[in-house]
Structure formats: C-alpha cells, structure tokens
Structure 1
C-alpha cells in the first residue's frame, strides 16, 4: 500500500459531531477532500444543511447526510446512531467533536454551568462513543477520535469544569482503547490549543490576550482549523492502524511547558 492509499478515506463513512461550525465544519470539509463519506451531527439543522451543500461542492460523488441531535440527551444519541445506520449502513470512523465552554472563575461556577459542560463535553462524548462502539465491536473494525483540549492536560484559564471534562475525555480514550482493542476498534484523541473559530474570535481579537497566547506558544501563532485536518485524517485512516489510546496534541508546542 502506497502513502496515498494509507491516508485515503475512500470507502469510509465518517460521523462528525458538532459539525455545523468551527472545528467540526472545517473537519467535514477536510475529510470530504480525503475521500470520506460523511454523517454530520449537530443541533442546528439549517446550518447542517449548509455544511452538507459545501461538502457536495467539494466532492460531487460524496454520500453525505445530517442529523439534528442534542448530545446532552442520551436518547437522541441512540436514535441518531440508529437512524444513520439503517439498511446495513455502518460508521467506520467517529469524530467526537461536539463541545462547549462557559468561562467562569471557580468561585463563581454554578451547578447548572458545571452540569451543562460535563454533560456536553464528557457525558455526551461517552454515550456517542458507546453507541457507535457497539456496532464497531460487532463489526470488528473502527476508529474513534475524541476531541479533548490542551486544557485537559495542563492548567489553563479555560475554567475548571471545562478542564475537568476534557481531562476526562483523555482518560476515557485510554480506557476505551484498552477495552475495545481486542475487537480491532482503535480509540484516540486530539487535543488542540487555540484555533481561530467563531467561539474564540472575540478572545483572539483582543491584542493583549492574543499576545499572551502567542508568547506561550513555541510556534508563535494560533492555529488555523485546516491544520487539524491532517491529524484527524491520520487517526481515521489506515496510516495509523497500529495507534490506539494516544492523545495527539495539536498545539504549536504549547503543552511543552503550559502556563
């Protein structure tokens, strides 16, 4: 198998959660270019339809569908996976990307904020992995890519609930890789630093804040969403066939020393 084939997603059906904007939207575009067929998941059906159209413009022969789902509702997660795998269809790759943050000092975090973040970033990610994982285990094949954060590894001013959830995603990845490896299901994790998305643009538009971020990043810049595509394609493709339980930091080197 040559290098081009190793990194190809042709013939693979990829589910992406949080696909309507930001990192998820960028990954949808990138994985479409890599040859993957797509199942797009997010709450906003209208925006999902736009991403579907964008993916068809990228590749005319793509098989792409979308499903509205609130990741915080396990029953909706079960229904989404069931609907998207009817008539013998399967999910070959799950990109567990959906997440959110509510930036609040620890002394001001409310029970509602804590629960919202944990239910989305950790609980929701687990139940998506579990539902898709059932089918992957039965098929004896599959790759799950969880999206964590540098904030799950080093202490940042991202908020304690977000940090706890993203640290949980990293450890969840290891345990699932251990349990499902015997069934030929690989589970890995990507941990980004600051990337330009609609969720970060206000922060990064502040010159002082941006300067502080850049000063703590060895590559001296923030990332562009397109730079997450390569790592995701690697973990989704046969190029990483002997990689599981790993967290890949896509952070310009920031996690070398942290804040």
Structure 2
C-alpha cells in the first residue's frame, strides 16, 4: 500500500503555489516523495516558497511565469523539461475571485477571472500534456470548486469559470486517456483560506454554512492533501475525468 500512494521519483508542477492552498498541496506532494516546482507570477514569491520547502528537506524548484500568457507558459514548460526534468504531475491550482452582483459586475473583472481560472488551465495543460503524450504517461489535476456545479450570489463569473474547468477536465480525459494520461479535478467546498477569510469572519455566513453542511463546519485546507496525493499517485491509474468533491457533504444535502 505504501508504494501505491508513493510519489517517489515523480516531479510535480503546481501553479499558483507560492502561498495558500497551492503551497499546501506542494508540501503534501513533497511529503509523499515528489520533487516539486513552485510557480508564481513573480520570481521572488516562487523562490521564497521553494526555499521554505528546501529548508524542510524537500527537493523544490522555483519557476515564475504568468499562467495567462500562452507564450510565457510554453517557454516556461520548455525550460522546466529541459533544465529541471520531465513533468509527471500537473496541478492547475492558480485562481482568483471577484465578488460583485451580476448586474454590476465590471467587464475587466470578468476577463480577469476567466483568464486565470479557465484560460490558464487550457494553456498550461496543453503545453504539459503535449510532452506527457509523447511519453505516454502523466497526471493532471485541475482545481475546480463547489461552484463547478452550484451557483451563489455575487460570484457568477467565478462559478462560470469553475464550471468550465469541469468540462475541460472531461474533454481532456476523452482525448488524452488513450495516451495514459489521467485528468481529474478536485472540487473543494468551503475552506478557510486567504480568499475566503472575509466570509469566515462573517458570523452570519458561518452560521449558515455550518447549518448547510452535513459536517457542520468549515473545511481545513490540509484536508485537500489526501485527494491531491491520491489523484497524483498510481492508486488512481484507472480514475479519469472525475470531479472529486471535498466538501463535507454539502453538495448532496438539501
């Protein structure tokens, strides 16, 4: 069983991993034995996070690039594969949130949300999957959301972007599974993060959330690590096109 979930000898690129859930997932994969590549938009951010992991005894590299820039993505993936080594696992974690009522939602905020949450998944996945297909092996994990299938006030563009991630995951599975590439997604429920801290600080929202969720609490970010390790490991070799909800049962409750 230990080898079934081991990531020893594997190399993982996690986008948006200089902090928050991305850094947590990178740490979890490193603890499972993977060599990790930290991505951020700035070199300073990526290098700081990679240094933190290195100090803990893990093998970590920094690679700064803008996931919304197709040319920058292709150049970065080429650099990683040439100078660091092949990417065995990709986690498309980079994401942003903007909250405004739909009728007042600014056009630029719409473009920003779609660029980071949706288009970047396409750019990075395509660049990495081309190399994986040549090797006939790879794992891609997209980070979706509870809003991949459920709507909520003030975040309609975010929900639209995460719904698109679901269909990207399924479409990529249909086209890439024949190349022995497994593409799945994790759909977190409500976790206390930097992005959700304003909601966590809202007593009325937290009261609603704990009543609405069968587990009756917010999720802890570290509770996402198991799902990421599973979908990165040999244990998930016949799991493909799947959207794994980690939500305390919220999606199935009425």
| TM-score interval for Structure 1 and Structure 2 normalised by the shorter chain | over 0.9
Distance 1:228 1:88, change over 3 A: closer
Q: State the match for 1:109 in structure 2.
A: 105
Question: Which residue of structure 2 aligns with residue 155 of structure 1?
Answer: 151
Q: Alignment partner of 2:78: what SS?
A: helix
Q: CA deviation at 1:202?
A: 2.1
Residue 88 of structure 1 deviates from its aligned partner by: 7.6
Structure-2 separation of matches of 1:222 and 1:156:
17
Residues 107-186 of structure 1: pairs in structure 2 closer than 5 A: 107-157=103-153, 159-186=155-182
Aligned residues: 254
Which residue of the partner structure matches residue 27 of structure 1?
A: 25
Distance 1:72 1:87, change over 3 A: closer
Once the two structures are superposed, what CA deviation does each residue of 1:78-121 show, in whole Å capped at 9, x if it has no partner?
11111111158200000000010101111011221111111110
Moved more, 62-71 or 92-101: 62-71
**Number of the residue aligned with 2:72:** 76
Instruction: Give the conservation status (yes or no) of the 8 Å contact 1:24–1:98.
Output: yes
Mapped partners of 2:25, 2:153: distance in 1? 26
Q: Distance in 2 between matches of 1:161 and 1:257?
A: 24
Secondary structure of 2:174 counterpart: helix
User: Displacement of 1:136 after TM fit?
Assistant: 0.4
Please say if residues 140 and 183 of structure 2, whose CA atoms lie closer than 8 Å, have aligned partners that are also in contact. yes
| Equivalent residue, structure 2, for 1:233 | 229
Corresponding residue for 1:249? Answer: 245
Match of 2:195 in 1: 199
Aligned to 1:57, which of 55, 58, 62?
55
User: In structure 1, what is the Cα distance between the partners aligned to 2:235 and 2:193?
Assistant: 28
Contact in 1 for aligned 2:143/2:185 (Cα 8 Å): yes
Higher mean C-alpha displacement, 102-111 vs 10-19? 102-111
| Residue 91 (structure 2) aligned to one of 82, 91, 95 | 95
- Structure 1 residue 46 displacement after superposition: 2.1
Where does structure 1 lack aligned partners over 5 or more consecutive residues?
A: none
Please report the RMSD computed on the Cα atoms of aligned residues, expressed in angstroms.
Answer: 1.3
In structure 1, how many angstroms separate the alpha carbons of the residues matched to 2:95 and 2:229? 20
Q: Look up the match of 1:48.
A: 46
Unmatched tracts of structure 2, length 5 or more: none
Q: Which residue of 1 aligns with 2:218?
A: 222
What displacement does 1:169 show? 0.2
Give the superposition deviation at 1:47.
2.5
- Conservation of the 8 A alpha-carbon contact between 1:151 and 1:158: no
Q: Distance in 1 between matches of 2:26 and 2:5?
A: 16
Cα distance change on mapping 1:113 and 1:33 into 2, 3 Å: same
Structure 1 distance, partners of 2:14, 2:111, is: 23
Instruction: Give the drift of 1:126.
Output: 0.9
Q: Deviations over 1:34-62 (max 9, x none)?
A: 1100011111322322221221233x2x3
